[in-house]
Structure 1
Amino acid sequence: MTKDEILSKLRDILFQTFEIAPERVELKTHLFEELDLDSIDAIDLAIKVQELTGKRIKPEDFKTVRTVADVVQTVQGLLVA
């Protein structure tokens, strides 16, 4: 899966789960400051990413996620592993 494909799927997830307009979701977008996600939302997002990849995310791998680009990079890492 390419970065653009992951970003597209992530936009869908954020819209369906948190009602965040897809046009607000760019690679540089900060999850907590710009999209107003909180720690519980981050857990929900991690679960959705696990469903997308079919692989378990280690909590320490998701603790450093701050931007949409970080999520994309995490997904890429899981798909390669």
Structure 2
Amino acid sequence: MEINDIIKKTNAFLAEEFEVAPESITPGADLKATLELDSLDYIDLVVAIESNFGFKVKPEDFQGIVTFQDFYDYVIARVKQKELV
């Protein structure tokens, strides 16, 4: 899967799942603030990632994720890792 395709797919499910305007999802924006995430929303986010990309997410994976770019980098790395298996 190409990087741009991963980013487009990610933005689409984030905008739909968390009911935010797609234009508010930018690489430098704060993920938690933009999506107004609370602890239960992180569970929804994990479920959305797993169902859209087919890999398991560990809670500790989110420790370094602050911006959407951090999130994209994480998803891209995990998708590429999955493709190698």
- In structure 2, stretches of 5+ residues that fail to align are none
Look at both structures and tell me which one has the larger radius of gyration over its CA atoms.
2
Q: Give 1:4 shift.
A: 2.3
C-alpha distance in 1 between matches for 2:67 and 2:39: 14
Letter in 2 for 1:56: K
**What is the number of residues matched between the two proteins?**
81
CA contact (8 A) 2:25 2:34 kept: no
Q: Give 1:32 shift.
A: 1.7
Q: Give 1:77 shift.
A: 1.5
- In structure 1, stretches of 5+ residues that fail to align are none
- The correspondence of residues 1-81 of structure 1 with structure 2, limited to 5 A, is 1-81=1-81
Runs of 4+ in 1 over 6 A off after TM superposition: none
Letter in 2 for 1:52: N
Q: Give 1:70 shift.
A: 1.4
Identity of aligned residues (%): 33
Q: Give 1:19 shift.
A: 0.8
C-alpha distance in 2 between matches for 1:60 and 1:77: 15
- Length-normalised TM-score, structure 1: 0.83
Q: Deviations over 1:7-42 (max 9, x none)?
A: 211221122111111111011110122332222212
Q: Give 1:74 shift.
A: 1.2
Compute the RMSD of aligned alpha carbons: 1.6
Tell me which protein shows more helix as a share of its residues. Answer: 2
* SS in structure 2 at match of 1:51: helix
